[in-house]
Amino acid sequence: MSQPLVIDNLAFSKKNEALSGVLLLADCPRLQELLHQPSLKAESNAHEIVFDLKGTTNSLNQHFLSLSITAKLSANCQRCLSAMPLTIKLHFNYLISDVDDAALEALELDNVDDFDLLQANANMDLAALIEDEVIMALPIAPTHENACVELVTQSGEKPNPFAALKGLIKPQAGE
């Protein structure tokens, strides 16, 4: 496992810092479980999650984090059950809040779509945040866009499942 990505998110945004990097799938055990052949992914560094994080402060002294994520992964197609490439591009804006939960509820920020609220944290685990966002962006049932490569179909007529019962019927007298 590589070095943990821990930042003080409020100080990061106050200083207008920026951070770019690559998160390996080996650092995302929950994400590995949802991908095609997770045991092979743990050994491979070929699949990575690229991220860019920027902190900003606006004229109202509000602190924001802007997170961009690009990931090239391999999922299981739910139609043919084979591996399929999956490219995810995400962008998030977070408002960093250093007030307690009761005060946040009074602000009624639930109807704002421009940003998500993130509690100020001196030890925010950036890798866990990135992993959470990628997991939530995964499709529930991924399928190939075009026809799957090797779909096995049955051709011809299917036998009637009640044909075996026909022999059990006794002919009645007079028929």
Dihedral sign from CA coordinates of 157, 159, 161, 166: positive
Q: State residue 132's pLDDT score.
A: 95
Contact 93, 13 (CB under 8 A): no
Q: Residues near 145 by Cβ (< 8 Å), separated by ≥ 6?
A: none
The structure tokens listed for 37 are 């052949």
Gyration radius from the chain CA atoms: 26
Distance CA 25, CA 54 (A): 22
Q: State residue 1's pLDDT score.
A: 46
Identity of the residue numbered 127: A
Per-residue pLDDT of the chain (175 residues; tens, 9 = 90+): 456 689 999 999 999 999 999 998 888 889 888 887 644 444 454 578 999 999 999 988 899 999 999 999 888 888 888 888 889 999 999 999 876 655 555 555 555 668 888 999 999 999 999 999 999 999 988 888 877 765 555 555 667 777 777 777 776 766 5
Distance CA 138, CA 145 (A): 15
Q: State residue 22's pLDDT score.
A: 92
Q: Reduced to 3 states, what is the DSSP secondary structure of residue 63?
A: strand
Q: State residue 136's pLDDT score.
A: 94
Q: What DSSP letter does each residue of 73-110 carry, written as one string? A: EEEE-TTT-SEEEEEEEEEEEEEEE-S-HHHHHHHT-T
The structure tokens listed for 13 are 């945004």
Contact 9, 128 (CB under 8 A): no
Q: State residue 38's pLDDT score.
A: 46
Task: Give Dmax (Cα) for the chain.
Answer: 99
Q: State residue 32's pLDDT score.
A: 86
The structure tokens listed for 67 are 């997170």
Exposure string for 21-35, b = 16+ CB within 10 A, e = fewer: bebbbbbbeebbeeb
